[in-house]
Amino acid sequence: MAKLFIVPTPVGNLEDITLRAIRTLKEVGLILAEDTRKTGILLKHHGIDNRMQSHHQHNEHHTAELIAQRINSGETVALVTDAGTPGISDPGFLLIRTCVEAGIDVECLPGATAFVPALVCSGLPCDRFYFEGFLPHKKGRNTRLNYLAKLDQTIVLYESPFRLAKTLTQLAETLGNERKACVSREISKIFEEHRRGTLEELALHYSQHEPKGEIVITVGA
């Protein structure tokens, strides 16, 4: 029976993909990719020759219904993003919801997600945690920061390297300068780094040293 497969892809090292994911990407009728060029590199590395179609945050509102119709007509489709699990701070939710509401079978494969290794390597408690994802850039940002300040568990956020110092400064001001935290970047890549300290110390460091790569911030309770 045709279905939608949600397939996690590596966040760094191209070998961080399961055998089941490789088989699925070979067998489906179509691969929906956030960026076909980036996904093409992954497919070539693993010897996968299959059809791709672009599916990203700018077109998913228009394509979700069409894709659901194709699956209903018998086509099996896999959804991937540039890195990690679709739907986790990445495109995918709208298509998944559309398929679920249409009674289409949706199967999500287990696999890579950047915040899990960052959380575990932070050294902060990970038995209970709150995943915030990306903070709003402007509207609602202070509201979210004030909400996070009330939580009594480890907090995990995603951030751009260009906004890292600003976000750490705001977290220090709202949650407290002495809160323990960890900044993880370039997960599963050659220059992977986990820098630990207080929010104040990390804000000072990254205001003086511009970071590069994908960023995960973990803040202790």
Name residues whose C-beta falls within 8 Å of residue 11's C-beta, 6 or more positions apart in sequence. Answer: 83, 84, 112, 113, 114, 187, 188, 214
What percentage of residues in the chain have a pLDDT greater than 90?
86
The predicted-structure confidence for 111-147, as pLDDT tens digits, reads as follows: 888 999 999 999 999 999 999 999 998 889 999 999 9
Average pLDDT, whole number, for the chain?
Answer: 94
Residue scoring higher pLDDT (181 or 58) = 181
Nearest partner of 92 among 135, 70, 60, 66, judged by Cα? 60
Residues found in the chain: 221
The predicted-structure confidence for 29-86, as pLDDT tens digits, reads as follows: 999 999 999 999 999 999 999 999 998 877 778 888 999 999 999 999 999 999 999 9
What 8-state DSSP symbol labels residue 196? E
Average pLDDT over residues 1-26: 94
Confidence of residue 218 (pLDDT cuts 50, 70, 90): very high
Q: What pLDDT does residue 58 have? A: 79
What 8-state DSSP symbol labels residue 4? E
Is it the case that residue 110 has pLDDT exceeding 90? yes
The C-alpha atoms of residue 131 and residue 133 are separated, in whole angstroms, by 6
Q: What pLDDT does residue 24 have? A: 97
The structural domains of the chain, ordered by start, are 4-108 (3.40.1010.10), 115-219 (3.30.950.10)
Nearest 5°: CA angle at 99, between 30 and 23? Answer: 35
First to last CA, the chain: 46
The C-alpha atoms of residue 144 and residue 29 are separated, in whole angstroms, by 41
Q: What pLDDT does residue 61 have? A: 81
Name residues whose C-beta falls within 8 Å of residue 73's C-beta, 6 or more positions apart in sequence. Answer: 2
Q: What pLDDT does residue 60 have? A: 78
Q: Which two tokens stand for residue 114?
A: 């950047």
Nearest partner of 151 among 120, 184, 187, 124, judged by Cα? 124
pTM score over 0.85: yes
Average pLDDT over residues 85-109: 92
What percentage of residues in the chain have a pLDDT greater than 70?
100
